[in-house]
Amino acid sequence: MSKRPPSLPTQAADMRMQMALRQIDFGAASAATPRPAASPAPPPPKPKPQNDADRLALKRRDWLADVQEAQRALSPYASGLLTAENLSGEDFLHGFYAPGRPVLIKGAMAGWPALERWTPDYLADRIGDAMIEYQGGRSSAADYELKKDKHRKRAPFRQFIDLVRSGGNDAYLTASNSATNAPALAPLNTDLGHIDAYLHSPQGMLWIGGAGAFTPLHFDLTNNLLAQVTGTKRVILIPPSQTSRLAHRNHVFSDVRDVTDEARLKLHPQARDLLRYEVMLTPGDLLFIPIGWWHQVRSESFSTMLTYTGFHWPNAGHQSYPAG
């Protein structure tokens, strides 16, 4: 006799989870004001010719993804984005990490001094004029995420904070700058707590940006835990099943870039009717984004956030990704 899997409804009750912010319609329009693209996207590389067998295999893959999403839609629990409080490591593993399902987690950062302290003034005083690296010149380029190295800039930290106080997307300290900035930003570590239930490594990758800082639509090659420290960020999540509608041609990025931008949607109309979830991250929120889930992130105010990847469980999908 086969072993029965744990009952998900029972597990949900044990975790005291409630349904998240909203249940997204397949054709729901975004509440955001569409913004025009900064500049046209570079032309995509010419795809390799496909034979009939390749085309049939892709159609079957897309068919399976559509059927599975339709089946999940039969249950609000199965198809909803859930919010959890006091989520144990075991429940996180079985309910979300292993199944590859996003979850918004409340309360895990309670008591962190950074939640109250990390204003622009405090950060500037704490780090002073130590030299840091950030991503600059983003407003003049459409490929600033794909070509990160070209946008690496250096400045005294206090000068960087002055740049982002006024908002915009031109200057942003991102996860890709973390290794370089670790020594300069080390004094901030004492303001942070630990998330021992899920992570074996307390080291997170810091993001600092002003209102309007934007990361275009992409997926990551690791499971990520976003920890919002100060400010608010609007995150749009799209499941991997929607990939065929997202013009995925370059590495982990979508040519759509922004599913709230009418100019981009005119170029990619197949991206209008997507299953998507929208979350507003506020101080103290954790958001688990499983590997392969598409997401775009916009800062609604001056914002600080950490990304963690050092989970207790394997997180090495990047090692086998077919880069192409």
pLDDT tens digit sequence for 190-228: 999 999 999 998 889 999 999 999 999 999 999 999 999
48 band by pLDDT with thresholds 50, 70 and 90: low
310 band by pLDDT with thresholds 50, 70 and 90: very high
Chain-centroid distance, C-alpha 283: 16
CB 295 within 8 A of CB 238: yes
3-state secondary structure the chain: CCCCCCCHHHHHHHCCCEECCCCCCCCCCCCCCCCCCCCCCCCCCCCCCCCHHHHHHHHHHHHHHHHHHHHHCCCHHHHCCEEEECCCHHHHHHHHHCCCCCEEEECCCCCCCHHHHCCHHHHHHHHCCCEEEEECCCCCCCCCCCCHHHHEEEEEHHHHHHHHHCCCCCCEECHHHHHHHHHHHHHHHHHCCCCCCCECCCCCEEEEECCCCEEEEECCCCCEEEEEEECCEEEEEECHHHHHHCCEEECCEECCCCCCCHHHHHHCHHHCCCCCEEEEECCCCEEEECCCCEEEEEECCCEEEEEECCECCCCCHHHHCCCC
Which amino acid belongs to residue 201?
S
Mean pLDDT of 101-127: 97
Q: Which residue has the higher pLDDT, 44 or 64?
A: 64
Q: Among all chains, which residue has been given the structure tokens 């109250």?
A: 116
264-295, pLDDT tens digit by residue? 999 999 999 899 999 999 999 999 999 999 99
Is the pLDDT assigned to residue 97 strictly greater than 90? Answer: yes
Is the pLDDT assigned to residue 26 strictly greater than 80? Answer: no
What pLDDT sits at residue 11? 45
Is the pLDDT assigned to residue 14 strictly greater than 80? Answer: no
Is the pLDDT assigned to residue 39 strictly greater than 70? Answer: no
Question: 91-314: what fold?
Answer: Jelly Rolls (2.60.120)
Mean pLDDT of 152-163: 96
